[in-house]
């Protein structure tokens, strides 16, 4: 795995959020609550969908378990928060470095890609995790539960402090 390191520019999102844990994964419910409302968003930047995870700032990913709580978002990028947005939660992801790598496959294969990134690339790189949202971009090549589905995984990073 050889991710690209990209300088991310601040983005705004409208979506739905839910507190969950891997042991009680409510991703399907989250997306089911967001998708019918998506057509009401008038100022979309693109048709891409974003699956966003926000972890507690105190978490050490070595201690991450199936029971660790995190906030998950089903969202779309917007130009601004103008208009009727009362049905949505708002999120701004701040600028910063991200490691970006492609993922092809079904959700059950995601964990192995995730572990490969953390255990191999990140540990050997000049970077460490940064405390900003993690996210996946699901563009036109995304096909839910299809082995040929493609998405981009974005992981917040910063230069290691020695």
Q: What is the CATH number of the domain that holds 30?
A: 3.20.80.10
pLDDT > 90? residue 7? yes
- Cα–Cα nearest to 31, from 99, 107, 96: 107
pLDDT > 70? residue 59? no
Domain range for 29 is 4-159
Looking at residue 107, its pLDDT comes to 79
Mean per-residue pLDDT of the chain: 89
pLDDT > 90? residue 23? no
Looking at residue 86, its pLDDT comes to 87
- Cα–Cα nearest to 98, from 154, 160, 161: 154
Cβ atoms of 135 and 47 within 8 Å: the answer is no
pLDDT > 80? residue 3? yes
As a whole number, mean pLDDT of residues 37-49 equals 94
Q: What is the 8-class DSSP label of residue 141?
A: T
User: What are the tens digits of pLDDT across the range 106-142?
Assistant: 877 877 787 788 888 888 999 999 999 999 999 899 8
Distances (CA, A) of 121 to 8, 116, 129, 155: 19, 7, 12, 12
As a whole number, mean pLDDT of residues 15-38 equals 91
Q: Given pLDDT bands bounded at 50, 70 and 90, which one contains residue 62?
A: low
Domain total for the chain?
A: 1
User: What are the tens digits of pLDDT across the range 144-156?
Assistant: 888 898 999 999 9
Distance from the Cα of residue 12 to its chain's centroid: 13
As a whole number, mean pLDDT of residues 16-22 equals 90
């Amino acid at each position: 795995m050889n991710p690209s390191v990209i300088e991310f520019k601040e983005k705004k999102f409208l979506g739905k959020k839910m507190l969950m844990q891997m042991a009680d994964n409510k991703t399907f419910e989250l997306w089911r609550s967001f998708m019918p409302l998506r057509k009401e968003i008038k100022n979309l930047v693109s048709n891409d969908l974003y699956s966003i995870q926000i972890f507690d700032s105190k978490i050490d990913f070595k201690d991450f378990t199936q029971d660790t709580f995190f906030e998950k978002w089903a969202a779309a990028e917007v130009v601004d928060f103008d208009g009727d947005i009362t049905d949505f939660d708002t999120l701004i992801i701040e600028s910063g470095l991200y490691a970006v790598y492609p993922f092809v496959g079904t959700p059950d294969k995601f964990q192995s890609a995730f572990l490969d990134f953390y255990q191999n690339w990140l540990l050997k790189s000049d970077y460490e995790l940064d405390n900003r949202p993690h996210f996946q971009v699901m563009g036109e090549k995304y096909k839910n539960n299809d082995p040929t589905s493609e998405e981009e995984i974005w992981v917040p990073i910063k230069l290691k402090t020695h």
